[in-house]
Chains A and B, each alone.
Chain A
Amino acid sequence: MNIYLQTLKRDLRVAIRNPSSVLNPLLFFIISVSLFPLAISPEASTLSQIAAGIIWVASMLAVLLSLNSLFHHDFENGVLEQMVISHHSLPLLILSKITAHWILTGIPIILLSPLLGLFLFLDNESVKVLMLTLLLATPSLSLIGAIGASLIVGIKNSGMLLSLLILPLYIPILIFASSAVSQAQFGLDIAGQLYFLAAILVASIMTTPFVSSIALKISLE
Protein backbone atom coordinates (compact mmCIF):
# COMPACT_ATOMS: atom_id res chain seq x y z
CA MET A 1 0.00 0.00 0.00
CA ASN A 2 2.96 2.24 0.68
CA ILE A 3 4.11 2.00 -2.93
CA TYR A 4 0.57 2.91 -4.04
CA LEU A 5 0.79 6.17 -2.08
CA GLN A 6 4.37 6.84 -3.21
CA THR A 7 3.41 6.47 -6.87
CA LEU A 8 0.33 8.62 -6.36
CA LYS A 9 2.38 11.35 -4.68
CA ARG A 10 5.00 11.23 -7.42
CA ASP A 11 2.44 11.46 -10.24
CA LEU A 12 0.62 14.37 -8.58
CA ARG A 13 3.95 16.15 -8.09
CA VAL A 14 4.93 15.68 -11.75
CA ALA A 15 1.53 16.95 -12.90
CA ILE A 16 1.58 20.01 -10.64
CA ARG A 17 4.99 20.97 -12.01
CA ASN A 18 3.75 20.55 -15.58
CA PRO A 19 0.33 22.23 -15.23
CA SER A 20 -0.44 22.50 -18.94
CA SER A 21 -1.06 18.75 -19.17
CA VAL A 22 -3.72 19.10 -16.45
CA LEU A 23 -5.20 22.45 -17.45
CA ASN A 24 -5.59 21.79 -21.20
CA PRO A 25 -8.33 19.13 -20.85
CA LEU A 26 -10.15 21.26 -18.25
CA LEU A 27 -10.06 24.34 -20.48
CA PHE A 28 -11.33 22.19 -23.33
CA PHE A 29 -14.19 21.04 -21.04
CA ILE A 30 -15.19 24.59 -20.08
CA ILE A 31 -14.84 26.04 -23.58
CA SER A 32 -16.71 23.26 -25.36
CA VAL A 33 -19.64 23.44 -22.91
CA SER A 34 -19.81 27.23 -23.12
CA LEU A 35 -19.98 27.16 -26.94
CA PHE A 36 -23.25 25.23 -27.06
CA PRO A 37 -25.54 28.14 -26.01
CA LEU A 38 -23.95 30.22 -28.80
CA ALA A 39 -24.43 27.50 -31.41
CA ILE A 40 -27.86 26.15 -30.46
CA SER A 41 -29.96 28.64 -28.52
CA PRO A 42 -29.62 30.75 -25.39
CA GLU A 43 -33.20 29.75 -24.42
CA ALA A 44 -33.37 28.25 -20.93
CA SER A 45 -35.98 25.65 -21.95
CA THR A 46 -33.84 24.36 -24.83
CA LEU A 47 -30.54 24.33 -22.94
CA SER A 48 -31.88 22.70 -19.79
CA GLN A 49 -33.16 19.77 -21.87
CA ILE A 50 -29.76 19.02 -23.39
CA ALA A 51 -27.51 20.26 -20.56
CA ALA A 52 -26.76 16.82 -19.11
CA GLY A 53 -25.83 15.42 -22.51
CA ILE A 54 -23.58 18.39 -23.29
CA ILE A 55 -21.74 18.22 -19.98
CA TRP A 56 -21.35 14.46 -20.18
CA VAL A 57 -20.05 14.42 -23.76
CA ALA A 58 -17.62 17.27 -22.95
CA SER A 59 -16.45 15.39 -19.82
CA MET A 60 -15.74 12.26 -21.82
CA LEU A 61 -13.82 14.12 -24.49
CA ALA A 62 -11.84 16.02 -21.84
CA VAL A 63 -10.89 12.74 -20.14
CA LEU A 64 -10.00 11.25 -23.50
CA LEU A 65 -7.78 14.23 -24.26
CA SER A 66 -5.91 13.75 -20.99
CA LEU A 67 -5.42 9.98 -21.38
CA ASN A 68 -2.57 10.32 -23.86
CA SER A 69 -0.28 11.53 -21.10
CA LEU A 70 -1.23 8.79 -18.61
CA PHE A 71 1.69 6.49 -19.53
CA HIS A 72 3.38 8.31 -22.38
CA HIS A 73 5.99 10.35 -20.46
CA ASP A 74 6.92 7.43 -18.25
CA PHE A 75 7.27 5.25 -21.33
CA GLU A 76 9.57 7.75 -23.03
CA ASN A 77 11.84 8.36 -20.05
CA GLY A 78 12.10 4.71 -18.99
CA VAL A 79 10.25 4.94 -15.66
CA LEU A 80 7.67 2.48 -16.97
CA GLU A 81 10.41 -0.11 -17.55
CA GLN A 82 11.48 0.25 -13.93
CA MET A 83 7.88 -0.14 -12.77
CA VAL A 84 7.43 -3.31 -14.83
CA ILE A 85 10.57 -4.99 -13.46
CA SER A 86 9.89 -3.95 -9.88
CA HIS A 87 8.84 -6.75 -7.56
CA HIS A 88 5.74 -4.76 -6.62
CA SER A 89 2.41 -5.62 -8.20
CA LEU A 90 2.20 -3.81 -11.56
CA PRO A 91 -1.64 -3.61 -11.41
CA LEU A 92 -1.30 -1.81 -8.05
CA LEU A 93 1.17 0.69 -9.53
CA ILE A 94 -1.15 1.22 -12.50
CA LEU A 95 -4.14 1.69 -10.19
CA SER A 96 -2.13 4.36 -8.41
CA LYS A 97 -1.41 6.17 -11.69
CA ILE A 98 -5.11 5.95 -12.62
CA THR A 99 -6.06 7.40 -9.22
CA ALA A 100 -3.71 10.34 -9.86
CA HIS A 101 -5.30 10.80 -13.28
CA TRP A 102 -8.78 10.86 -11.75
CA ILE A 103 -7.73 13.33 -9.04
CA LEU A 104 -6.28 15.64 -11.70
CA THR A 105 -9.04 15.28 -14.29
CA GLY A 106 -12.18 13.72 -12.79
CA ILE A 107 -12.36 15.76 -9.58
CA PRO A 108 -11.94 19.15 -11.31
CA ILE A 109 -14.68 18.15 -13.79
CA ILE A 110 -16.99 17.21 -10.90
CA LEU A 111 -16.24 20.52 -9.16
CA LEU A 112 -16.79 22.56 -12.32
CA SER A 113 -20.01 20.77 -13.29
CA PRO A 114 -22.40 22.70 -10.95
CA LEU A 115 -21.25 26.01 -12.44
CA LEU A 116 -21.62 24.75 -15.98
CA GLY A 117 -24.95 23.10 -15.08
CA LEU A 118 -26.35 26.38 -13.79
CA PHE A 119 -24.92 28.12 -16.87
CA LEU A 120 -27.05 25.72 -18.95
CA PHE A 121 -30.13 26.35 -16.74
CA LEU A 122 -30.17 22.99 -14.97
CA ASP A 123 -32.23 23.11 -11.77
CA ASN A 124 -30.56 22.51 -8.41
CA GLU A 125 -31.83 18.94 -8.02
CA SER A 126 -30.61 17.97 -11.48
CA VAL A 127 -27.20 19.55 -10.77
CA LYS A 128 -26.90 17.34 -7.69
CA VAL A 129 -27.74 14.26 -9.78
CA LEU A 130 -25.27 15.38 -12.45
CA MET A 131 -22.53 15.64 -9.83
CA LEU A 132 -23.47 12.23 -8.44
CA THR A 133 -23.28 10.60 -11.87
CA LEU A 134 -19.91 12.26 -12.50
CA LEU A 135 -18.66 11.12 -9.10
CA LEU A 136 -19.70 7.55 -9.86
CA ALA A 137 -18.59 7.43 -13.48
CA THR A 138 -15.49 9.61 -13.98
CA PRO A 139 -13.33 7.03 -12.15
CA SER A 140 -14.64 4.45 -14.64
CA LEU A 141 -13.64 6.77 -17.51
CA SER A 142 -10.07 6.90 -16.16
CA LEU A 143 -9.97 3.15 -15.47
CA ILE A 144 -11.33 2.06 -18.85
CA GLY A 145 -9.26 4.71 -20.61
CA ALA A 146 -6.09 3.29 -19.02
CA ILE A 147 -6.53 0.10 -21.06
CA GLY A 148 -6.48 2.09 -24.30
CA ALA A 149 -3.62 4.29 -23.09
CA SER A 150 -1.50 1.25 -22.24
CA LEU A 151 -2.22 -0.39 -25.59
CA ILE A 152 -1.10 2.62 -27.62
CA VAL A 153 1.77 3.75 -25.37
CA GLY A 154 4.51 2.92 -27.87
CA ILE A 155 2.70 4.29 -30.92
CA LYS A 156 3.35 7.84 -32.09
CA ASN A 157 0.45 10.20 -32.99
CA SER A 158 -2.05 7.70 -31.67
CA GLY A 159 -4.76 10.11 -30.45
CA MET A 160 -7.28 8.97 -33.05
CA LEU A 161 -6.56 5.32 -32.36
CA LEU A 162 -7.20 5.89 -28.66
CA SER A 163 -10.58 7.49 -29.44
CA LEU A 164 -11.56 4.55 -31.65
CA LEU A 165 -10.55 2.07 -28.97
CA ILE A 166 -12.09 3.77 -25.99
CA LEU A 167 -15.17 5.74 -27.06
CA PRO A 168 -17.29 2.62 -27.77
CA LEU A 169 -16.54 1.41 -24.24
CA TYR A 170 -17.68 4.77 -22.83
CA ILE A 171 -21.10 4.64 -24.49
CA PRO A 172 -22.95 2.66 -21.77
CA ILE A 173 -21.68 5.16 -19.19
CA LEU A 174 -22.84 8.08 -21.34
CA ILE A 175 -26.30 6.56 -21.81
CA PHE A 176 -26.92 5.74 -18.16
CA ALA A 177 -25.40 8.94 -16.76
CA SER A 178 -27.21 11.38 -19.04
CA SER A 179 -30.50 9.49 -18.74
CA ALA A 180 -30.21 9.67 -14.93
CA VAL A 181 -30.02 13.47 -15.10
CA SER A 182 -32.83 13.70 -17.68
CA GLN A 183 -35.09 11.48 -15.57
CA ALA A 184 -34.28 13.51 -12.46
CA GLN A 185 -35.46 16.64 -14.30
CA PHE A 186 -38.88 14.97 -14.63
CA GLY A 187 -38.85 13.78 -11.01
CA LEU A 188 -38.52 10.11 -12.00
CA ASP A 189 -36.64 7.42 -10.10
CA ILE A 190 -32.93 7.21 -11.03
CA ALA A 191 -31.83 4.36 -8.78
CA GLY A 192 -31.46 1.90 -11.68
CA GLN A 193 -29.05 4.13 -13.61
CA LEU A 194 -26.99 4.87 -10.50
CA TYR A 195 -26.75 1.17 -9.63
CA PHE A 196 -25.60 0.47 -13.17
CA LEU A 197 -22.92 3.18 -13.00
CA ALA A 198 -21.78 1.83 -9.63
CA ALA A 199 -21.62 -1.70 -11.08
CA ILE A 200 -19.47 -0.47 -13.99
CA LEU A 201 -17.18 1.27 -11.49
CA VAL A 202 -16.74 -1.86 -9.36
CA ALA A 203 -16.14 -4.04 -12.43
CA SER A 204 -13.62 -1.50 -13.77
CA ILE A 205 -11.67 -1.35 -10.50
CA MET A 206 -11.54 -5.14 -10.35
CA THR A 207 -10.43 -5.75 -13.92
CA THR A 208 -8.85 -2.77 -15.70
CA PRO A 209 -5.53 -2.57 -13.72
CA PHE A 210 -4.86 -6.21 -14.63
CA VAL A 211 -5.79 -5.82 -18.30
CA SER A 212 -3.80 -2.60 -18.47
CA SER A 213 -0.71 -4.25 -16.95
CA ILE A 214 -0.82 -7.04 -19.56
CA ALA A 215 -1.19 -4.43 -22.33
CA LEU A 216 1.73 -2.40 -20.96
CA LYS A 217 4.01 -5.43 -20.84
CA ILE A 218 3.13 -6.21 -24.46
CA SER A 219 3.75 -2.59 -25.48
CA LEU A 220 7.15 -2.58 -23.79
CA GLU A 221 8.38 -5.75 -25.54
Chain B
Amino acid sequence: MLSLNVNNLSCQRGYNQLFSELSFEVNSGDILRITGTNGSGKTSLLKILAGLNAPEEGEITLGNRPVKSDGYQSEVFYLGHLSALSAELTSIENLEFLTGLNQSIDQQQFVKALKQVGLAGYENEHCGKLSAGQKRRVILAGLFISNAKIWLLDEPFTALDPQGVKIVEERISKHCEQGGLCLFTTHQDSALPNQKVLAL
Protein backbone atom coordinates (compact mmCIF):
# COMPACT_ATOMS: atom_id res chain seq x y z
CA MET B 1 0.00 0.00 0.00
CA LEU B 2 1.59 3.25 -1.17
CA SER B 3 0.80 6.61 0.32
CA LEU B 4 2.11 9.86 -1.08
CA ASN B 5 1.85 12.60 1.52
CA VAL B 6 2.19 16.27 0.75
CA ASN B 7 2.34 18.60 3.75
CA ASN B 8 2.16 22.40 3.77
CA LEU B 9 3.74 22.77 0.36
CA SER B 10 4.44 26.29 -0.87
CA CYS B 11 5.83 27.32 -4.21
CA GLN B 12 6.92 30.71 -5.44
CA ARG B 13 8.19 31.62 -8.91
CA GLY B 14 9.80 35.04 -9.00
CA TYR B 15 7.42 37.34 -7.14
CA ASN B 16 4.39 35.09 -7.78
CA GLN B 17 3.13 32.84 -5.03
CA LEU B 18 1.77 29.90 -7.02
CA PHE B 19 0.34 28.01 -4.07
CA SER B 20 0.87 27.88 -0.35
CA GLU B 21 0.15 25.50 2.53
CA LEU B 22 -0.98 22.82 0.12
CA SER B 23 -1.59 19.47 1.78
CA PHE B 24 -3.06 16.29 0.38
CA GLU B 25 -2.63 12.55 0.39
CA VAL B 26 -2.74 10.16 -2.54
CA ASN B 27 -2.96 6.43 -1.92
CA SER B 28 -2.60 3.31 -4.04
CA GLY B 29 -5.36 3.14 -6.59
CA ASP B 30 -6.02 6.90 -6.57
CA ILE B 31 -6.18 9.01 -9.70
CA LEU B 32 -5.70 12.68 -8.91
CA ARG B 33 -6.45 15.25 -11.56
CA ILE B 34 -4.79 18.59 -10.90
CA THR B 35 -6.75 21.47 -12.36
CA GLY B 36 -6.18 25.18 -12.57
CA THR B 37 -5.77 28.05 -14.96
CA ASN B 38 -2.59 28.66 -16.94
CA GLY B 39 0.16 29.73 -14.56
CA SER B 40 -1.58 28.39 -11.46
CA GLY B 41 1.31 26.05 -10.66
CA LYS B 42 0.20 22.66 -12.00
CA THR B 43 3.50 21.94 -13.76
CA SER B 44 5.48 23.38 -10.83
CA LEU B 45 3.64 21.04 -8.44
CA LEU B 46 4.37 17.99 -10.60
CA LYS B 47 8.03 19.02 -10.94
CA ILE B 48 8.30 19.37 -7.16
CA LEU B 49 6.66 15.96 -6.69
CA ALA B 50 9.09 14.50 -9.25
CA GLY B 51 12.07 15.85 -7.29
CA LEU B 52 13.05 18.18 -10.09
CA ASN B 53 12.37 21.44 -8.27
CA ALA B 54 12.54 22.30 -4.59
CA PRO B 55 9.53 23.78 -2.82
CA GLU B 56 9.77 26.99 -0.79
CA GLU B 57 8.34 25.16 2.17
CA GLY B 58 6.73 21.84 3.02
CA GLU B 59 7.58 18.20 2.71
CA ILE B 60 6.74 15.28 0.46
CA THR B 61 7.04 11.69 1.58
CA LEU B 62 6.23 8.30 0.15
CA GLY B 63 5.70 6.22 3.27
CA ASN B 64 8.80 7.22 5.22
CA ARG B 65 10.88 7.98 2.12
CA PRO B 66 11.32 11.68 1.41
CA VAL B 67 11.37 13.15 -2.09
CA LYS B 68 14.81 12.97 -3.78
CA SER B 69 15.79 9.87 -1.79
CA ASP B 70 16.71 6.81 -3.91
CA GLY B 71 13.69 4.91 -2.54
CA TYR B 72 11.34 7.70 -3.64
CA GLN B 73 12.88 8.49 -7.02
CA SER B 74 12.93 4.86 -8.14
CA GLU B 75 9.11 4.79 -7.73
CA VAL B 76 8.47 7.88 -9.86
CA PHE B 77 7.91 8.28 -13.58
CA TYR B 78 7.61 11.91 -14.65
CA LEU B 79 6.21 12.81 -18.04
CA GLY B 80 6.83 16.49 -18.70
CA HIS B 81 6.07 18.88 -21.53
CA LEU B 82 9.30 17.93 -23.32
CA SER B 83 9.57 14.76 -25.35
CA ALA B 84 12.72 13.45 -23.56
CA LEU B 85 13.71 11.85 -26.86
CA SER B 86 16.87 12.41 -28.88
CA ALA B 87 16.18 13.06 -32.54
CA GLU B 88 19.27 11.08 -33.59
CA LEU B 89 18.20 7.87 -31.84
CA THR B 90 15.54 5.36 -32.82
CA SER B 91 12.42 4.75 -30.72
CA ILE B 92 13.94 1.61 -29.21
CA GLU B 93 17.29 3.26 -28.47
CA ASN B 94 15.56 6.17 -26.74
CA LEU B 95 13.39 3.86 -24.65
CA GLU B 96 16.39 1.70 -23.81
CA PHE B 97 18.22 4.70 -22.37
CA LEU B 98 15.29 6.38 -20.64
CA THR B 99 13.94 3.27 -18.95
CA GLY B 100 17.54 2.20 -18.23
CA LEU B 101 17.81 5.24 -15.96
CA ASN B 102 15.54 3.39 -13.55
CA GLN B 103 15.45 -0.28 -14.46
CA SER B 104 16.73 -2.92 -16.84
CA ILE B 105 14.23 -3.99 -19.49
CA ASP B 106 14.40 -6.64 -22.18
CA GLN B 107 14.31 -5.29 -25.76
CA GLN B 108 11.30 -7.45 -26.66
CA GLN B 109 9.26 -5.50 -24.13
CA PHE B 110 10.03 -2.27 -25.98
CA VAL B 111 8.72 -3.78 -29.22
CA LYS B 112 5.58 -4.93 -27.42
CA ALA B 113 5.07 -1.56 -25.73
CA LEU B 114 5.49 0.33 -29.02
CA LYS B 115 2.91 -1.98 -30.58
CA GLN B 116 0.51 -1.21 -27.71
CA VAL B 117 0.72 2.52 -28.39
CA GLY B 118 0.16 2.00 -32.11
CA LEU B 119 3.75 2.35 -33.24
CA ALA B 120 4.41 -1.15 -34.57
CA GLY B 121 6.92 -0.84 -37.39
CA TYR B 122 8.43 2.37 -35.97
CA GLU B 123 10.91 0.58 -33.68
CA ASN B 124 13.94 1.56 -35.74
CA GLU B 125 12.65 4.92 -36.93
CA HIS B 126 14.73 7.89 -35.80
CA CYS B 127 12.65 10.01 -33.42
CA GLY B 128 13.57 13.17 -35.32
CA LYS B 129 11.37 11.89 -38.14
CA LEU B 130 8.31 11.24 -35.95
CA SER B 131 5.36 13.61 -35.53
CA ALA B 132 4.64 15.28 -32.15
CA GLY B 133 1.89 12.74 -31.43
CA GLN B 134 4.13 9.81 -32.33
CA LYS B 135 6.89 11.15 -30.10
CA ARG B 136 4.38 11.39 -27.28
CA ARG B 137 3.39 7.78 -27.91
CA VAL B 138 7.05 6.66 -27.72
CA ILE B 139 7.53 8.19 -24.29
CA LEU B 140 4.16 6.78 -23.20
CA ALA B 141 5.41 3.34 -24.25
CA GLY B 142 8.28 3.93 -21.80
CA LEU B 143 5.77 4.84 -19.11
CA PHE B 144 3.71 1.69 -19.69
CA ILE B 145 6.66 -0.67 -19.27
CA SER B 146 8.23 1.12 -16.32
CA ASN B 147 8.03 -0.38 -12.83
CA ALA B 148 7.32 3.04 -11.31
CA LYS B 149 4.30 3.10 -9.01
CA ILE B 150 3.80 6.88 -9.05
CA TRP B 151 2.92 8.35 -12.41
CA LEU B 152 3.26 12.12 -12.65
CA LEU B 153 1.85 13.10 -16.02
CA ASP B 154 1.89 16.69 -17.20
CA GLU B 155 -0.64 17.08 -20.02
CA PRO B 156 -0.35 13.42 -21.09
CA PHE B 157 -3.02 13.79 -23.81
CA THR B 158 -1.29 16.64 -25.64
CA ALA B 159 -0.80 15.93 -29.36
CA LEU B 160 -2.61 12.59 -29.11
CA ASP B 161 -5.57 11.63 -31.32
CA PRO B 162 -8.79 10.30 -29.66
CA GLN B 163 -7.59 6.71 -30.02
CA GLY B 164 -4.30 7.64 -28.31
CA VAL B 165 -6.17 9.38 -25.49
CA LYS B 166 -8.27 6.25 -24.98
CA ILE B 167 -5.16 4.04 -24.77
CA VAL B 168 -3.63 6.33 -22.13
CA GLU B 169 -6.83 6.47 -20.08
CA GLU B 170 -7.13 2.68 -20.13
CA ARG B 171 -3.53 2.28 -19.03
CA ILE B 172 -3.91 4.81 -16.21
CA SER B 173 -7.00 2.94 -14.95
CA LYS B 174 -5.21 -0.42 -15.16
CA HIS B 175 -2.13 0.96 -13.39
CA CYS B 176 -4.21 2.29 -10.51
CA GLU B 177 -6.25 -0.93 -10.26
CA GLN B 178 -2.94 -2.75 -9.83
CA GLY B 179 -1.97 -0.59 -6.86
CA GLY B 180 -0.24 2.31 -8.54
CA LEU B 181 -1.21 5.93 -8.26
CA CYS B 182 -1.42 8.66 -10.85
CA LEU B 183 -1.38 12.44 -10.68
CA PHE B 184 -2.02 14.25 -13.92
CA THR B 185 -2.88 17.61 -15.37
CA THR B 186 -4.99 18.23 -18.43
CA HIS B 187 -7.11 20.94 -19.97
CA GLN B 188 -9.06 18.33 -21.92
CA ASP B 189 -12.10 16.38 -20.78
CA SER B 190 -11.13 13.10 -19.24
CA ALA B 191 -13.29 10.01 -19.01
CA LEU B 192 -11.16 8.43 -16.29
CA PRO B 193 -13.39 6.85 -13.64
CA ASN B 194 -13.15 7.69 -9.92
CA GLN B 195 -10.76 10.56 -10.43
CA LYS B 196 -10.26 12.96 -7.55
CA VAL B 197 -9.70 16.60 -8.35
CA LEU B 198 -7.22 19.01 -6.84
CA ALA B 199 -7.90 22.60 -7.86
CA LEU B 200 -4.99 25.04 -7.67
Residues of A within 8 A of B (CB): 2-3, 6-7, 10, 13-14, 17-18, 73-74, 76-79, 81-88, 220-221
Closest 8 CB pairs of A and B: A78-B82, A86-B101, A17-B88, A87-B73, A78-B84, A87-B74, A87-B70, A14-B88
Are the CB atoms of B83 and A78 closer together than 8 Å? yes
B100 within 8 A of A: yes
Residues of chain B with a CB closer than 8 A to A84's CB: 51-52
Are the CB atoms of A82 and B88 closer together than 8 Å? no
CB closest chain-A residue, reference B81: A78
Q: Could you tell me the distance in whole angstroms from the C-beta of B75 to the nearest C-beta in chain A?
A: 9
B89 within 8 A of A: yes
CB closest chain-B residue, reference A220: B52
Are the CB atoms of A221 and B80 closer together than 8 Å? no
**Known: A14-B89, A86-B73. Contact between A221 and B53, CB under 8 A?**
yes
Residues of chain B with a CB closer than 8 A to A74's CB: 86
B3 within 8 A of A: no
Residues of chain A with a CB closer than 8 A to B126's CB: 17
Q: Could you tell me the distance in whole angstroms from the C-beta of A71 to the nearest C-beta in chain B?
A: 13
Are the CB atoms of B53 and A85 closer together than 8 Å? no
B114 within 8 A of A: no
Max count, chain B CB within 10 A of own CB: residue among A2, A18, A85: A85
Contact of A77 among B50, B51, B85 (CB under 8 A): B85
Contact of B101 among A13, A17, A73, A88 (CB under 8 A): A88
**Known: A14-B89, A18-B88. Contact between A82 and B98, CB under 8 A?**
yes
Residues of chain A with a CB closer than 8 A to B74's CB: 87
Are the CB atoms of A86 and B89 closer together than 8 Å? no
Are the CB atoms of B70 and A13 closer together than 8 Å? no
CB closest chain-B residue, reference A7: B97
Residues of chain A with a CB closer than 8 A to B78's CB: 81-82, 85
Max count, chain B CB within 10 A of own CB: residue among A14, A87, A88: A87
Are the CB atoms of B100 and A6 closer together than 8 Å? yes
Assembled-state Cα–Cα distance A76/B87 (Å): 11
